[in-house]
Amino acid sequence: MGEQTLATVDWSRAQFALTAMYHWIFVPLTLGLSFLIAFFETIYVKTGNEDWKKLTKFWMTLFGVNFAIGVATGIIMEFQFGTNWSNYSWMVGDIFGAPLAVEGIFAFFIEATFFAVMFFGWSRVSKGFHLLSTWMVAIGSNLSAVWILVANGWMQYPTAMQFNPDKARFEMQSFVDVALSPAAVQKFTHTTSSSFLLSSLFVLGVSGLFLLQKRHQLMAKRSMVVASIFGLIATAFVAFNGDESAYHIAQRQPMKLAAMEGLYDGQNNAPVVAMGIINASKKPGDKEPSFVGKVEIPGLLSLLANREAGTFVPGVNDLVYGNPEKQIVGAKQRIASGQIAVTELANYKAAKERGDAAAAATALTTFNQHRDDLGYGYLKTAADAAPPVAPTFYAFHIMIALGTLFPIIFILVLYFAWKGNLEEKGWLNKLAFISLFLGYVASQAGWVVAEVGRQPWAIQGLLPVNVAGSNLSATNVQITFFMFLTIFTVLLVAEIRIMMKQIKIGPEA
């Protein structure tokens, strides 16, 4: 496997991160708002009240504007696996491609087919079929998320596969195990429920603005009540599967957990850092303090990570350099083993090519003894096995802090709506409006934790990013990076302007 230049890999990472972050501005709103629209339309069909139809159409307009740019950024995500990560595409295409194709067949077409009915079918199909179509768009959108998240879950926790030295790729052994792996299930439930939460905040924020402006007050209050109930239910799921997710990360990606908590030296009865400032000059293996300052909750990390108080949680240094006492094999040892695997794989291929069966068999035997460390063989130093700690730590803590705030807002909205004086609570409506943006911050932060926290791996423990990319010059990727940056930014500005105008027009136009 050829190693790409660092500049190309870094620009490809930047381009993928840019595309993914832009894409993730639009997707969570699509996932959640589609269900909220389905709720609104269901109420309309049940009651026959035209106000609910107006409300449905209003949120549908915003949904459509958001959906289009989500589609535009989405296609780039799919094809970038090939254009910028071609070695990755070959090495894991046998596993990764299947969920992507299933997604295309069973999810995208539901969205694509019923989307047109939802928007343009009001007078062309019956009321019932229109409602069904709206629900199908919601279901199809969320099914779309299933398969790409299965694929992402597999990248975080590769399972049910085997390396084929003849083809130099990983091959799938069980589709069911890939689709139902705990990482995939966690990824899907946490991502979709947090998207429902974001969409509820979106509806809350826009409706809060209406109340502040004393416009469309009845419709705004109705929207806020539905969104708050949906948001509260979503919050419960987010909290539950967030805890599950952290537990699984502790078991399967301990390095990521250590970075999330800024934990360099593992310890028994490890604390959770409630808030802290990371020491930016700290590196794995040095004697610098990890934090400039911090507030801790003693023992909580051990409890959350291992579901047992007082237990040992490994830190970055344990995982980089090993900890014989705790029987942790560090990256340093695995790199040495991985380099043998790399050499023997090359020897095996060379022996096969020249028809030397005996040499090939010998090389293959040695390779098989070290195959689990193959990916480590491409790391330069042990410290390379650690992700950037500061962004992972801050992103995680921002996500948790905001995730704690949101249910309080939902409860307050429901309480004052029940009291009948929601429109008088200007401070709450301002908070609701601000939380619209905070929802996006939390959502993006979640992906930063997931993706930055698993660096340097494209596939956890198997394929580092420096051998996953395409053999391109950095200049090519730089040019496309700035092209994407320009076009996505222009389209984002257009989207925001269009949405603001539609919000100004309001649901009763």
Partner 1 sequence: MIGNLEHTLLQQLWWLIASVVGSLFLMLTFVQGGQTLIFTTAKSEEERSLIINSIGRKWELTFTTLVLFGGALFAAFPLFYATSFGGAYWVWMLILFTFIGQAVSFEYRKKPDNVLGAKIYEIFMLINGTVGILLIGAAVGTFFTGSSFTLTKFNSVIWDTPFRGLEAALNVFNVAFGLFLVFLARVLGAMYIVNHIHHDQLVARARKATLINLVFALPFLLTVLGGLLTMDGFAIDPNTGKVFMEKAKYLHNLLAMPAVPVLLLLGLVSVIYGVVATAFLKSNRGIWFGGLGTVLVGLAVFCLAGYNNTAFYPSVTSLQSSLTIYNASSSKYTLTVMSYVAIGVPFVLAYIAYVWRLMDARQLTLAELAKEENY
Residues 201-260 that bind partner 1 (CB under 8 A): none
Using CB under 8 A, which residues numbered 130 to 149 contact partner 1?
133
Residues 43/508, Cβ–Cβ less than 8 Å: no
Please name which of 144, 158, 157, 12 lies closest in space to residue 92, comparing C-alpha atoms.
158
Residues 103/148, Cβ–Cβ less than 8 Å: yes
Using CB under 8 A, which residues numbered 42 to 61 contact partner 1?
57
- Which x/- pattern, by CB under 8 A, does the window 321-360 give for partner 1? ----------------------------xx--x-------
Q: Of residues 129, 237, 321, 440, which one binds partner 1 by CB under 8 A?
A: 129
Bridge partners of residue 379, in order along the sequence: none
- First-to-last alpha carbon distance for the chain, in angstroms, is 60
Q: Of residues 46, 78, 218, 243, which one binds partner 1 by CB under 8 A?
A: 78
Vertex 240 angle, CA 135 and 150, to 5°? 60
97 binds partner 1 (CB under 8 A): yes
Q: What is the DSSP letter of 106?
A: I
Q: Of residues 114, 367, 378, 410, which one binds partner 1 by CB under 8 A?
A: 114
Q: Of residues 41, 103, 261, 384, which one binds partner 1 by CB under 8 A?
A: 103
Instruction: Using the CB atoms, write b or e for 218-247: b if 16+ within 10 Å.
Output: ebbbbbbbbbbebbbebbebbeebbeebbb
Taking contact as CB under 8 A, which single stretch among the options 234-242, 248-256, 414-422, 482-490 is the one that binds partner 1?
482-490
111 binds partner 1 (CB under 8 A): yes
The least CB distance from residue 1 to partner 1, in Å, is: 5
Q: Of residues 6, 7, 47, 79, which one binds partner 1 by CB under 8 A?
A: 79
Q: Of residues 6, 112, 275, 509, which one binds partner 1 by CB under 8 A?
A: 112
Please give the radius of gyration of the chain, using alpha carbons only, rounded to the nearest integer: 25
- Which x/- pattern, by CB under 8 A, does the window 6-45 give for partner 1? ----------------------------------------
Q: Of residues 17, 106, 390, 440, which one binds partner 1 by CB under 8 A?
A: 106
Taking contact as CB under 8 A, which single stretch among the options 124-132, 240-248, 277-285, 357-365 is the one that binds partner 1?
124-132
3-class state of residue 165 by DSSP: coil
The DSSP string of 455-502 is TTEEETTTEEGGGTS-S--HHHHHHHHHHHHHHHHHHHHHHHHHHHHH
Using CB under 8 A, which residues numbered 169 to 188 contact partner 1?
169, 171-173, 175
The least CB distance from residue 123 to partner 1, in Å, is: 6
Q: Given the DSSP bridges, would you call strands 463-464 and 457-459 parallel, antiparallel or unpaired? A: antiparallel
Question: How many Cβ atoms from other residues are within 10 Å of residue 30's Cβ?
Answer: 25
Taking contact as CB under 8 A, which single stretch among the options 81-89, 407-415, 433-441, 455-463 is the one that binds partner 1?
81-89
Helices (H), 48-181: 50-83, 86-103, 109-120, 127-156, 175-179
Using CB under 8 A, which residues numbered 361 to 420 contact partner 1?
none
Taking contact as CB under 8 A, which single stretch among the options 44-52, 168-176, 249-257, 449-457 is the one that binds partner 1?
168-176
Please name which of 388, 393, 387, 442 lies closest in space to residue 275, comparing C-alpha atoms.
393
- Show Cβ contacts of residue 332 under 8 Å, excluding neighbours closer than 6 positions: 320, 321, 322, 382
483 binds partner 1 (CB under 8 A): yes
The least CB distance from residue 95 to partner 1, in Å, is: 7
Of 31 and 259, the one with the shorter C-beta distance to partner 1 is: 31
Please name which of 356, 362, 254, 366 lies closest in space to residue 315, comparing C-alpha atoms.
254
